[in-house]
Amino acid sequence: MTSTLAALNQWVDEMARLTQPMRIHWCDGSPAEYAALLAQMLTRGELHALNAQTHPGCTLHRSHPGDVARVEHLTYICTRARDDAGPNNPWMAPQEAHARMDALFAGCMRGRTLYVVPYCMGPIDSPLARCGVEITDNAYVVANMRLMTRMGAPALARIERDGYFVRGLHSTGELDPERRFIMHFPEELSIQSYGSGYGGNALLGKKCHALRIASWQARQEGWLAEHMLIVGIQNPQGQTHYVAAAFPSACGKTNLSMLVPPEDMRRAGWKVWTVGDDICWMAPGKDGRLWAINPEAGFFGVAPGTGARTNPNALAMLDHDTIFTNVATTADGQPWWEGLDGRVPALDWQGRPFDPARGPAAHPNSRFTVSARQCPSFSPRAEDRQGVPISAIIFGGRREALLPLVFEARDWAHGVLMGAAMGSETTAAASGAVGVLRRDPMAMKPFCGYNFADYFAHWLSFDQPDAKLPRVFHVNWFRKGSDGRFLWPGFGDNLRVLDWVIRRCEQRMDAVETPIGLLPDARDLDLTGLDLAPADLSELLHIDRAGWDRELTQLAEDFAAYGPRLPARLEHERRRVLAALNASASPRRAASG
C-alpha cells in the first residue's frame, strides 16, 4: 500500500533515507493489522497479556521508568520569529531545530520497521476535521493511534482528496533523556519527536497535532482548537445542551465528560452524553453559534482515581479491548490502580513484586487507551459531520481557596479574562513538581502553539455583532474549608452545578451580581439529598474581596510578560473587574437574561 499523493510518497521516501529502516509498512487500520501488531508486541514482550476471562483483548505496556510523562521543557515551538512562539513556549529557531533533529534521526531506525500512519482528527467527512501522517518506529504508538484517531485507509483517502496533511516524524530512539526533543514547526505544519514513547510525546495526533499545530491553523482559519471536553446535558424535558469545558490535566475532565447523574436527578430524567473528554475543535456556524467536534476517536485517560464512585462509565468501558500503560496487576493478571478497589496488587507498574515502601503500585500518570465507542454514555451525535452546538463554555481548575463553586462571566470579554486568569495546582501528567500553583490560561499553557497574547486576541475576535456565542462560566470543585476538607462532594453531584448553568443558558434562572461575575443564589441550586451544611454552601459561594484584589494584581504582572502584544481590551477588562471590586458594596440579584 502506498499513496496516490506524490507529496506524501516523496516525504516518506525522504524520511526513510534519513532514518534507514529495515522495512516500511503502510498502515491500513484494519482489525487484522491491529491484531497482528498486538501479537508481535506480546511475542517481543513489549505488551503483556491480561486476564482473558475478566479483561478479554486487554494488554499492559510498561514504559521505561524515565519516560512516563510529557516533557514540557523539551517541547519546542519552532517559528522564524521568536515572538510568534511567545513567552509561554520554549522556542528554537527552525534551522537549528532541524539540524539537531536530523542528527538524531540519522540512521535511528536501522533494524526497525518504519510505520506510515495516516490519520484523521475528527469524523472522516467533517469539514472541521484535519488529517496528518505520523511516521514512527514504535508499534505501541501505532496501536494507540488506531484507537485514538480515525486511522488507516479512510484517512489516507481523505488526505489524497484534500492534497495536504500535517507531517509527523517520531522515533523512540534510545530513550535517553539527554537526547529527547519534541519539536513543532507550525509554519511548516510539521512535528518531530525523538527519544520518548510516552503518549503525549509520541502519539503525534494528540497534543502535538490536535492542539499545538491545530491552534496555529485555527487562528489562521478562524476557529478554535482547545483543551476541552465536550459533554451533552439532557434535561427532563428532553432538550440537550452541549458544554465545552477546559480543565488542566488530571483535574476531572474525563470524570465530568462521563458524569453519571445522582439518583434523584436520574429519576427525574436527566441524562449525560459523552462527545469527548480532552480536545475540542470549535468553529462558527452559519447560525452564528459555535459548533464543535471531538477530533479524537478514543480516550487516553488517567487510571488512578478512576473507580465505581468517581467514574462508573469509564470503568464499564475498560473490561475489554483496552491498552493499559503503567498500571499494576493482581495475582490473577487483572489491571489495578489506586482508587479502583480494596484489593492488594501482586506486581507494581514496573513488574516488580508490590512493596508499598516503593510508592504507589500504579504510576500516578498510568493510562488506559480505549475506543470512545465503548463508553456507555457515548453520544449518538459524536460522529456528526457538522459537530454539536455549544451552549456554554466552562473554565475550571484545582484551587483550594478563593474561586467560588461557580460563577458566570458578564459578557464574552469577561469570559476571556476568566479563561486567561485560570490557575491550577500541577499534577503527575507533566514531569516536575506536583502541587505547585501555576497560571494555566484556558488549560492551554502546555499546548498553545503560538504567543498567548495573540491567542487571547483570537478569542476576543469572535465577539462579532452577528455572533451567538456561548455563555462563559468558571467552576471550582476543589475548594476546601479551614479544616482541609473538600466542601463540595463533586463527581456526579457536579450535575447540580451544570443544571444551574443550563438554566442560565435558557434564561430561566436569575443570578446574583458580584464584582467578579454572576453567582447563583444558594436557593437556586438543586441540593436534593445532599448532606451539605449551610456554612459549607456559604463558603463555596463566598467572595473574598481582599483575596480577589491580590489575584487581579498578580494577574497584571502575568499579563506584563506578553508586552505590547497583549490585547488592550483584556487589560481593560481586568481593570474594570478590579475597579468594580474596590467600589462594590453588597451583591444584588441580576436578571436572568
Catalytically active residues, by annotation: 251
* Contact partners, residue 530, CB within 8 Å, separation at least 6: 489, 493, 496
Q: What gap in Å lies between CA 389 and CA 283, rounded to an integer?
A: 10
- Nearest C-alpha neighbor of 121 from the set 470, 387, 462, 314: 387
Torsion angle, alpha carbons of 571, 575, 578, 579, to 10 = -170
SS3 194: strand
- Nearest C-alpha neighbor of 273 from the set 375, 368, 391: 375
Q: Which amino acid is at 482?
A: S
Phi, psi of 398 (to 5 degrees): -100, 95
Neighbours of 289 (CB within 10 A): 17
Q: Which amino acid is at 274?
A: T
Phi, psi of 112 (to 5 degrees): -115, 165
Q: What gap in Å lies between CA 229 and CA 299, rounded to an integer?
A: 11
Question: Do residues 494 and 231 touch, judged by C-beta distance below 8 A?
Answer: no
Q: Which amino acid is at 532?
A: L
Handedness of CA 566, 572, 575, 576 (dihedral sign): negative
- Nearest C-alpha neighbor of 398 from the set 363, 434, 362, 366: 434
Q: CA–CA distance from 132 to each of 105, 159, 273, 552 (Å)?
A: 20, 8, 28, 41
What the block records as the C-alpha cell of 337 is 490502580
Q: What gap in Å lies between CA 68 and CA 348, rounded to an integer?
A: 14
Bridging pattern class, strands 388-396 and 471-475 = parallel
* Contact partners, residue 582, CB within 8 Å, separation at least 6: 549
CA angle 109, 326, 181 (to 5 degrees): 40
Question: Do residues 29 and 154 touch, judged by C-beta distance below 8 A?
Answer: yes
Question: Do residues 243 and 498 touch, judged by C-beta distance below 8 A?
Answer: yes
Handedness of CA 154, 160, 163, 164 (dihedral sign): positive
Q: What gap in Å lies between CA 287 and CA 73, rounded to an integer?
A: 41
Q: CA–CA distance from 331 to each of 50, 56, 253, 325, 334 (Å)?
A: 11, 17, 31, 18, 8
Which residue(s) pair with 325 in the sheet? 61, 367
Cα-Cα end-to-end distance for the chain: 58
What is the chain's length?
593
Question: Do residues 399 and 424 touch, judged by C-beta distance below 8 A?
Answer: yes
Question: Do residues 179 and 103 touch, judged by C-beta distance below 8 A?
Answer: no
Question: Do residues 244 and 388 touch, judged by C-beta distance below 8 A?
Answer: no
